[in-house]
Amino acid sequence: MNPGDIQALELRLWIERRQGDFDAALETRREILRLDPLNPDWTEVLLHGLRTMHRYDEIRAEIEAS
């Protein structure tokens, strides 16, 4: 109902990870970070997801962007 609700997106992220849909979970992480860019925890969550998926070039790009 509310696309900017971070708590709902956190729940969606949890569900996606539990279902093994890591690409969707990564996009949800990016969406959360876009909605709450000043929260350093979300950057860390995104980097952890990228590291889990072995996307090291994207990690470097995210670190440089943040």
Q: Are 19 and 11 in contact (CB under 8 A)?
A: no
Task: Give the whole-angstrom CA distance, residue 6 versus residue 35.
Answer: 8
Note the pLDDT tens digit of each residue in 12-50: 999 999 999 999 999 999 999 999 988 989 999 999 999
pLDDT at res. 4: 81
Question: Is the pTM for the entire model greater than 0.75?
Answer: yes
Q: First vs last Cα of the chain: how many Å apart? A: 30
